[in-house]
Amino acid sequence: MDFIDLKKQQGRIREKIDSRIKSVLDHGKYIMGPEVFELEEKLAEYVGVKYCLSCSSGTDALLIPLMAKNIGPGDAVITTPFTYIATAEVISLLGAEPIFVDIYPETYNINPEKINSALESAKVKGLIPKAIIAVDLFGLPARYRLLEKIAKENDLLLLEDAAQGFGGQIRNRKAGSFGHVSSTSFFPAKPLGCYGDGGAIFTDDYEMAQVMQSIRVHGSGKDKYQNIRVGVNGRLDTIQAAILIEKLEIFDDEILLRNKISTYYTKNIISQIKKPFVPRDYISSWAQYSLMAASEQERQETTSMLKDSNIPSMIYYKIPLHLQDVYKNLGHSIGDFPFSEDAAKRIFSLPMHPYLTIQEQNKIIKVLNGLSVNE
């Protein structure tokens, strides 16, 4: 059993992907070929925003909007410590300072009610708060109704990190459409993944889209040999765009399949382990199905039991960002963000992908419920 099985998905659409790749090989426009623009149009329509810019990774999809807003030394950006390093790394890369805000213990997403006091502490440090990066962790969109209100009140840019959340939604709004600007990742294991690195940025803001388009290609002006600002090489390869066009065709069906599996897990896992919470009107894209053991030791025992039955599991994330070595300079200590620290000790994720068979699901459930898998 695989934690994420990409082969089964490939089997379903292999011929279409082969023919899309062949057509790129035939026309030979490997950089910014027609598939890139076709994909951007389809993604913008899917998410329901005006502009989509594909780019080279989910990390660049976070970096480019911050660069477009000139975020740099002396600025503070609010974010969660319970996420993948990329979310905070881009802030530091630009010389700004990440200001962490703890998560809700129920959803593992940033708690907007704690942002105001974080803004105050940033100001005490002499920093100017400029933005919030909220993460749709494990596929569940963050609490945007409150986040958008706080961003507006404090004149902050709100950037949605939908690397994991793409395909999720709140009421009729899709992940990728929250805040001023949103980013996603097409890393192969993500809900919508390509066969290499890739990402995309979404916004309704025309001016910002123009600036980000320039930054994506070395700060280009009229063309890439006229340079008007510092930029990056942030383009998505045409071949990856071609692959994504075919994967997008089956994406909604895959989100439904993921939701069916998560519902089955939640209904049938009867052990005391805490199951994921999805607030009313929210839909998760189930990038991960994560459980909370009662203690670090129970997590160790449960994941070993799964391993003994050849069931893979993963821990996202063992170390919250404020306790990572790279952020020692921020001067945080244990106890600063208790819910993130607690989750880091007890959380673990089960195999999750649209093609997990009912037999595989039943086997996982049996092991978790303490039954012999041979029964």
Ligand X SMILES: Cc1ncc(COP(=O)(O)O)c(C=O)c1O
Contacting positions for ligand X (CB under 6 A): 57-59, 83-84, 86-87, 135, 161, 163-164, 185, 187, 197, 199
Secondary structure of 253-310 as H, E, C letters: HHHHHHHHHHHHHHHHCCCCCECCCCCCCEECCCCCEEEECCCHHHHHHHHHHHHHCC
Q: Which is nearer to ligand X, 65 or 363 (CB)?
A: 65
Residue type, 136: D
Q: CA 97, CA 43: separation in Å to the nearest integer?
A: 31
Q: Which is nearer to ligand X, 97 or 161 (CB)?
A: 161
List of residues 6+ apart from 189 with CB closer than 8 A:
4, 6
Instruction: Yes or no: say if 251 and 167 are a contact pair by the CB < 8 Å rule.
Output: yes
Report in angstroms how near the CB of residue 10 gets to ligand X at its nearest.
19
Report in angstroms how near the CB of residue 56 gets to ligand X at its nearest.
8
Q: Which is nearer to ligand X, 86 or 368 (CB)?
A: 86
Short-list 5, 162, 192, 158, CA closest to 86: 162
List of residues 6+ apart from 336 with CB closer than 8 A:
100, 322
Q: Which is nearer to ligand X, 108 or 265 (CB)?
A: 108
Report in angstroms how near the CB of residue 359 gets to ligand X at its nearest.
29
Report CA dihedral (294, 297, 298, 303) to the nearest 10 degrees.
130
Report in angstroms how near the CB of residue 168 gets to ligand X at its nearest.
13
Q: Which is nearer to ligand X, 194 or 368 (CB)?
A: 194
Report in angstroms how near the CB of residue 332 gets to ligand X at its nearest.
20
Short-list 254, 147, 237, 142, CA closest to 190: 254
Q: CA 359, CA 367: separation in Å to the nearest integer?
A: 12
Q: Which is nearer to ligand X, 270 or 326 (CB)?
A: 326
Q: Which is nearer to ligand X, 148 or 161 (CB)?
A: 161
Report in angstroms how near the CB of residue 151 gets to ligand X at its nearest.
19
Q: CA 194, CA 185: separation in Å to the nearest integer?
A: 9
Q: Which is nearer to ligand X, 57 or 238 (CB)?
A: 57
Report in angstroms how near the CB of residue 181 gets to ligand X at its nearest.
14
- Nearest residue to ligand X by CB is 58
**How far, CA to CA in Å, does 231 sit from each of 32, 63, 65, 360?**
17, 10, 11, 47
**3-class secondary structure, 29:** coil
Report in angstroms how near the CB of residue 234 gets to ligand X at its nearest.
11
